[in-house]
Amino acid sequence: MSRRTYRGANIEISFDLEQCIHVGECLRRLPETFALDRRPWISPDAADADDVVAVVGRCPSGALQYRRLDGGPDETAPDPAVVTPMRNGPLLVRGRIEVRRTDGTVEVMPRATLCRCGSSANKPFCDNSHLRVGFRAPGEPFRIELSPVRRAVDQPLDRARDPRGS
C-alpha cells in the first residue's frame, strides 16, 4: 500500500498512486490544491475544505480520500454499494468497499475502479490496461477531459513517469 497523507489545518487528504487511473479531476478542478509541479503536490490549506471535499469526491478510483479536521462531515458511502460498469473500462464502485491486499492488510474505501478486462497488473484495481488491450464491453459512458496526467483520452500518464510517485 502506498497511500500518502497530506495534513492541513481543516482537512487531511490522502493519495494512493497505485489506485489512480489518471482521470485528472483533481488537477483540473482545484489546481491551487493539486499541482504536479510542486512538492508536496497536495496543499490541503490552499482551498476551502468544502471545495476540497467536492473535488476529492469526483475522484472515481478512490486514490484520493479525505478526512475532515474542522468538524465537517467525513465522506459517506452509499449503502448498499453501487456498481456501475463503465463503457469499455472498469467497474466504478461507490460504497463501503473492503479490499484485502496481497500482504493481508485490509483497506476500507468509499470508491474504487475495479478491473473487468482481466489485464490489470494491480488487481483488483484498474490500471488502465483496458486501453492497451482494446477491451470492449457495454456500460455507462465516462467523459474524460484532458489534463496534465491525460494528454490524450486514450493515453493516461504511465505510473512509472508520474512525478507524484517520487
In this prediction, residue 103 carries a pLDDT of 84
Sign of the dihedral defined by the CA atoms of residues 21, 17, 117, 139, in that order: negative
Domain that holds residue 23: 4-68
Q: Name beta bridge partners: 11.
A: 68
- Structurally, the chain folds into a number of domains equal to 2
Phi-psi region of 25 (alpha: psi -120 to 50; beta: other; left: phi over 0): alpha
Q: What is the CATH number of the domain that holds 82?
A: 3.40.5.90
158 located within any domain: no
Q: Do both 110 and 84 map to the same domain?
A: yes
Interval 23-80: pLDDT, tens:
999 999 999 999 999 999 999 999 999 999 999 999 999 999 999 999 999 998 898 9
**Residue closest to 89 by CA, chosen among 130, 57, 148, 121:** 130
Q: Is 123 found in the same domain as 83?
A: yes
Is 53 within the bounds of a domain? Answer: yes
Q: Hey, what's the torsion of the CAs at 22, 45, 68, 5, to 10 degrees?
A: 50
> Whole-structure pTM over 0.85, yes or no?
yes
Assess if residue 155 is contained within a domain: no
